[in-house]
Structure 1
């Protein structure tokens, strides 16, 4: 089929100006969601999207819904959830469980829910079932009153104006709406769990709250059922899409190093961590396929399963696999405490605050501290500091020996692969290095003071590297300068968007190389390793010389390009048990549908791109070959998943992203900075850095962090995300003139806590 060509220019500055005009981005107050879109003059109120909502006949029905009616739906929902207990007990008795070392175990390690997520998720599940019951009761009446057949999404929007107040779910509202105490708002240091940052809404950005949305959730039933095609048929199978479109050839970047991938993943883990659901009554992990990858009998299928079935697949057919186990994410209470479609819980804080190092709960933070000199707890090997060791390696890693190396950190994904564990180790060492220096400069400080001051500096360093180096490589200098020109705005909601967390940041796995290389100091390859052998198996990192060799590798080996070329180990061997593994992209596509992400078409329109009536309209941003391939998989252009569309877009100049992903990332990075009262350069926070301290922080580069915290790396290029070149040469790590170092003398205080002048 020949695709007609069409061309339209989408100016970079135009998208940037829209992103900057967002300011507060997403507001969610009393059931009202506002979005500033590039093709509208002002915000859109979700309750006024359709004129149907203002019809007297419709309002008459809505106004007759009482708190008693809402209570009845909640009670009904609680009974439905209660009936699951028998099924879940049967699953336990039938030994339908996640077994150690299996691919399902690997997925559980990465996305397993913390206790706090479980507690909130159960309430959210009841709310979803109650919303479905409300719709069953009232959508027919509302359709009749409106004079047309109302879609499930339209009805869901109307009913989301009702909150949990006065119902048995009111406790969820208290958890989201109770203000912080004055002392918490005025704390010199940001909280561990992200609370009390926003002065108007103390729980905004807190861990275990829901992702925000750039577009209204798209579920086939308006509440929680996966999106379907515009033809009402199921969307193409996720694995079929991958096997049809994705290639596993190498396409290395001409400019970027693997450090770009690793920092992107590290940043993702700072800002977002979804949680897979577990059994509601037993808290047992849910398994949706047999251990061998076969289909389960329907009587053993938990309602929160959404397995990916495998059909006519060459790779999996060789291994006899027909089923990839996929468990749906835990929902979150909606930000406005209303009935309505599912949102998903974010177990990380929504701020760039080092939560992957320090944890997102007070409980986790205490487990990671040594409570001695403000330092983090570590383990030792050959007189070198490493991350603390897991108390239960067979649970926290895909290992079968309690004596195997498995690390702990602020994020459970620390052991995903050795390069990620390396990045965590580097920052643990950086924290303890700074804590040592601060304790020498301020001998009168106690452990808590040293820990908090050190954590504050480390977070500032991470923010500086992200906005000063990563963002320039990811989005380009123009975007970087525009975003850095903004300042704190108390009305800005920095909550992580579902599209950013579930689609864009997950797509960065495309940058991975399936064979990370170990390099010697002279930048020659010493050895290559297969990624498939080291998922949740980080012991290699403690072997002599490996930490340095991996570090030099990150700064030398080219990153792959952001496109539809993926490492085979990620597409066919993720969390492999030696026999078969999962497919990271199939799971990301399924997760996007699970999270109610609207189609690529809707997001490209949101970002100011040409509204596409058919596949040919994608030619502005994709190659003809890719558009033709899309037509072979999707029956309608409006069905294309956001992740696939974003990966196929041609990158913008000076950016790794195409225009749609670029827009979503720029929006998030702007709001992450603007909405964080404790962002390092904000003078309006309770205890801002002094001008001299800020000057020191501005010196920091990832190169300096790597130089200071490796074992024996002697040379590093200043811009680590870029390959060594004549314009980016190697310097000696000892040269502070070439790779500036933080001068902590500017943090010295006398015993009255006044900074000593220099």
Structure 2
């Protein structure tokens, strides 16, 4: 009976303890569970798809949170291709739409896609988030619309407002080739045959046809290392294809880095069985689909090869220096110094380069400096394009243009003191964009195409042509313009003031500088890097030395977490995008198809190379376009063969002729300003923004120091006085003070002075956007800029449902409850894996409660189990006392002494009595 009472009391204690300890976990689980249900099957499918996509994204961010401080090459690649918020939202919406179709296929829905009503289709597009990005934008009708290009590129062509704009689909010059006709990549099914043969694994193509050791590369005897760096920089100005928002499979949530199976968006690069690598594949993530294409076409009753999957360009297609300013209002807001009256860009507040500015830091950390604690890790740089920190040379070019903008804006404000900060910013931006166009089209592209191909495909400028679509094409971005990877040198050379190898800054292999901005800040700044770019040669693209092992074996390599292979990534990306084969593109360019080894040898002029190609591909029509174009022998005076010269030339002509704001267009600059712009050059930009005092006249030509270098005093520069405004200002129309949270620029319309107002990103204009100077003064009061409450948007909430939206001035903040933390998208709350602080308080209070209950329970147990023993003890004590008294009488000891003597002895049951009393 006593034992049963004891066990019962202990059970009560365990229940109390378990409740106190596990209650916080139960409460957290309750937050995760639950969800709305809808009667509509189609809406239910979209919601299910949203859960699948968001869960995959959530798992990706949770894994990245756990790996914080241990970056893998795949993570670095993902970071470099991380889309800004608008691109990310579109990618997510497209993936929800695409997954919706896959859900409908798997469920074998009773609804035929052809029977879906227009209302239901519109609901699906709206619920997925695609609809707002598919509607045509409204183009403003103000004088400002003709003065400065919009940051997103939208409405450059007023008849086709999305041509060339950011976050629109890449152009298709030929229909894509997908294995299922509309979405599945080439090579997705290893048993799928092309002309009777499967496509060779891309890693096999790299190993047998592309890769060469660092020591075996041939250096270019004509062009400097600045040539490939400028190509990379310009590529980042006009194209960025966002990859999937998730690095985990939508179905099942498996991590793409841990699976070698094709599960969308995972499309891993298979490795040969005899590979020395520890894994059977390299991770690869598919590019996001553009809204309403591929599988998504079924939602619009158009599931066919007529509406295949397209990929998105997250940047503006135009040569507009988006590398400096961004391609969205959100990025532009991050880059501008809003407290500057001269329209300056933000600079780094922690470090200087001999008194000159560095790029500001982004929030994300880059690869760590050896031995540096995690808290002291140097972040990546913040620029108009997120890939600025890939290598120090690229970061250096970004930094040059940051400094050039601030130099120009400061000068313009000094010349025109009446200009608003926004006018100074926009004028400097317009000049910087023009210089990007001049350097690229005048100094860079002719060297790549050669004089004959440049005349054939580009030719002289004949003015803006509104029928030309400037949108960057898929084949240009995914294949042709990646020719530059074959010109990347495996070494980073840093030179001293005499343009000799720097004794304190030794040469570095390329893998030692990937995503390491600390090397720029802590190891000499820009000048040693820029000297090396000017005075050391590029790698020459040789047919059997196409890409060095720094790119094929050590891409983004870190200490012990693997590596990637750029050549295989390029080939896999082309297959992911469904690019047709090499011969299809030759035919597109008016070149002959090459069917036999003998015909191939006419274009490649290397029989050994031809034999290796045919051994792998088996059929000439199976050759990947990137490899085929790369293998062709150069045209005279060029650094490409005929196919890539055609594709690059056609694209550059479209970028020029289809751009309403091209610098040579008559309304963009005055004749005098255009003449000044033509004087400027990349060497002049270097002179004005570094410590170099001597430079080559052509930054892309290799030369010897000092004989081939000129003093900066001899390098022509622009006369900025040509930008001075002289028009008189009416006393009745004095320039007003800038409005809070907004600004204005001025222009002329029908001979009258006009102010056009705009609000900062996150604010909405209330009142007249445009005010005009009349005989009686301004025709209306200036507008005001009111904060936009983003949190009030219930249709497309800015934060994930796991987070609480908090409105702030000009923005919003997604807030998580402890122990959740914001993921890398800064919108989703991720479980940090620890108990919340409130739970620790609950546990502490629970422990106190348990202690009290334990004490009370023990007292009760003692009383229940020892009541009879206490009675026995009292009787025993009475008997002992009486016997002791008798003994004392017999021995002659007094009763008091006998009592003391007995008390010193341990009584029967003594230990139990003391615990319970």
Q: Is the 8 A contact 2:492 2:510 kept in 1?
A: yes
Which position in structure 2 is the counterpart of 1:532? 511
Matches of 1:442 and 1:448 in 2, distance apart? 12
Q: Is the 8 A contact 1:700 1:740 kept in 2?
A: yes
Aligned CA distance change for structure 1 residues 341 and 125 (closer, same or farther; 3 Å): farther
Which position in structure 2 is the counterpart of 1:694? 674
Which position in structure 1 is the counterpart of 2:726? 750
Q: Is the 8 A contact 1:101 1:398 kept in 2?
A: no
Select which of 580, 598, 609 maps to 2:580: 598
Which position in structure 2 is the counterpart of 1:236? 200
Residues 495-550 of structure 1 deviation map (CA, whole Å, 9 limit, x = unaligned): 00011111122231111111121122333222311111111112121246441111
Select which of 421, 436, 448 maps to 1:462: 436
- Using the TM superposition, name which of 77-86 and 304-313 deviates more: 77-86
What SS does the aligned partner of 1:585 have?
helix
Based on CA coordinates, which of the two structures has the bigger radius of gyration?
2
* Equivalences, count: 647
Which position in structure 1 is the counterpart of 2:266? 305
Which position in structure 2 is the counterpart of 1:484? 460
- Using the TM superposition, name which of 585-594 and 376-385 deviates more: 376-385
Q: Is the 8 A contact 1:476 1:654 kept in 2?
A: yes
- 1:87 Cα deviation after fit: 6.5
Q: Is the 8 A contact 1:415 1:538 kept in 2?
A: yes
- 1:83 Cα deviation after fit: 5.0
- Listed as ranges, the matches of 1:122-133 within 5 Å are 122-128=92-98
Aligned CA distance change for structure 1 residues 310 and 283 (closer, same or farther; 3 Å): closer
Select which of 476, 481, 492 maps to 1:516: 492
Using CA pairs under 8 Å that are at least 6 residues apart, name the structure with larger relative contact order, 1 or 2.
1
Matches of 1:281 and 1:93 in 2, distance apart? 11
Aligned CA distance change for structure 1 residues 96 and 173 (closer, same or farther; 3 Å): closer
Aligned CA distance change for structure 1 residues 83 and 480 (closer, same or farther; 3 Å): closer
- 1:134 Cα deviation after fit: 10
What SS does the aligned partner of 2:459 have?
helix
Which position in structure 2 is the counterpart of 1:703? 683
Aligned CA distance change for structure 1 residues 90 and 268 (closer, same or farther; 3 Å): closer
What SS does the aligned partner of 2:332 have?
helix
Aligned CA distance change for structure 1 residues 705 and 613 (closer, same or farther; 3 Å): same
Question: Does residue 369 in structure 1 map to residue 336 in structure 2?
Answer: yes
Q: Is the 8 A contact 1:219 1:227 kept in 2?
A: yes
Q: Is the 8 A contact 1:575 1:581 kept in 2?
A: yes
- Using the TM superposition, name which of 304-313 and 182-191 deviates more: 182-191
Q: Is the 8 A contact 2:250 2:265 kept in 1?
A: no
- Using the TM superposition, name which of 337-346 and 186-195 deviates more: 337-346
- Using the TM superposition, name which of 462-471 and 86-95 deviates more: 86-95
What are structure 2's unaligned runs of at least 5 residues?
1-39, 188-192, 730-745, 748-917
What are structure 1's unaligned runs of at least 5 residues?
1-70, 139-155
What SS does the aligned partner of 2:221 have?
strand
Which position in structure 1 is the counterpart of 2:660? 677
Aligned CA distance change for structure 1 residues 313 and 473 (closer, same or farther; 3 Å): farther
Aligned CA distance change for structure 1 residues 123 and 593 (closer, same or farther; 3 Å): same
Aligned CA distance change for structure 1 residues 165 and 385 (closer, same or farther; 3 Å): farther
Q: Is the 8 A contact 1:73 1:133 kept in 2?
A: no
- Listed as ranges, the matches of 1:46-125 within 5 Å are 79=48, 82-83=51-52, 100-125=70-95
Aligned CA distance change for structure 1 residues 434 and 96 (closer, same or farther; 3 Å): closer
- 1:287 Cα deviation after fit: 7.7
Matches of 2:120 and 2:601 in 1, distance apart? 46
Question: Does residue 541 in structure 1 map to residue 520 in structure 2?
Answer: yes
Which position in structure 2 is the counterpart of 1:714? 693
Q: Is the 8 A contact 2:56 2:247 kept in 1?
A: no
- Listed as ranges, the matches of 1:617-696 within 5 Å are 617-622=599-604, 623-683=606-666, 685=667, 688-696=668-676
What SS does the aligned partner of 1:692 have?
helix
Aligned CA distance change for structure 1 residues 680 and 236 (closer, same or farther; 3 Å): same
- 1:699 Cα deviation after fit: 0.9
Q: Is the 8 A contact 2:168 2:313 kept in 1?
A: yes
Matches of 2:609 and 2:120 in 1, distance apart? 46
Aligned CA distance change for structure 1 residues 698 and 94 (closer, same or farther; 3 Å): closer
- 1:232 Cα deviation after fit: 6.4
- 1:163 Cα deviation after fit: 13
- 1:474 Cα deviation after fit: 1.0
Which position in structure 2 is the counterpart of 1:587? 569
Question: Does residue 252 in structure 1 map to residue 219 in structure 2?
Answer: yes
**TM-score w.r.t. structure 2 length?**
0.65
Select which of 167, 171, 193 maps to 1:212: 171
Q: Is the 8 A contact 1:113 1:277 kept in 2?
A: no
Q: Is the 8 A contact 1:185 1:199 kept in 2?
A: no
Aligned CA distance change for structure 1 residues 215 and 127 (closer, same or farther; 3 Å): farther
Question: Does residue 327 in structure 1 map to residue 285 in structure 2?
Answer: yes
Q: Is the 8 A contact 1:600 1:646 kept in 2?
A: yes
Question: Does residue 296 in structure 1 map to residue 272 in structure 2?
Answer: no
Select which of 409, 416, 423 maps to 2:397: 423
What SS does the aligned partner of 1:253 have?
strand
Q: Is the 8 A contact 1:308 1:325 kept in 2?
A: yes
Which position in structure 2 is the counterpart of 1:572? 553
Matches of 1:625 and 1:135 in 2, distance apart? 48
Matches of 1:423 and 1:743 in 2, distance apart? 23
Select which of 725, 738, 741 maps to 2:717: 741
Matches of 2:267 and 2:394 in 1, distance apart? 29
- 1:179 Cα deviation after fit: 2.9
Q: Is the 8 A contact 2:195 2:622 kept in 1?
A: no
- 1:462 Cα deviation after fit: 0.8
Matches of 2:376 and 2:389 in 1, distance apart? 15
Which position in structure 1 is the counterpart of 2:710? 731
Aligned CA distance change for structure 1 residues 84 and 702 (closer, same or farther; 3 Å): closer
- 1:612 Cα deviation after fit: 2.5
Matches of 2:101 and 2:622 in 1, distance apart? 26
- 1:244 Cα deviation after fit: 1.1
Aligned CA distance change for structure 1 residues 86 and 461 (closer, same or farther; 3 Å): closer
Which position in structure 2 is the counterpart of 1:59? none
Q: Is the 8 A contact 1:722 1:728 kept in 2?
A: no
Which position in structure 2 is the counterpart of 1:227? 186
Residues 573-616 of structure 1 deviation map (CA, whole Å, 9 limit, x = unaligned): 11112233111111111111111111112111111111233343
- 1:75 Cα deviation after fit: 7.4
Matches of 1:288 and 1:242 in 2, distance apart? 25
Aligned CA distance change for structure 1 residues 514 and 110 (closer, same or farther; 3 Å): same
Aligned CA distance change for structure 1 residues 200 and 94 (closer, same or farther; 3 Å): closer
Which position in structure 2 is the counterpart of 1:403? 376
Q: Is the 8 A contact 2:535 2:704 kept in 1?
A: no
- Taking only aligned residues, the RMSD between alpha carbons, in angstroms, comes to 3.5
**TM-score w.r.t. structure 1 length?**
0.78
Which position in structure 1 is the counterpart of 2:141? 182
- 1:487 Cα deviation after fit: 2.2
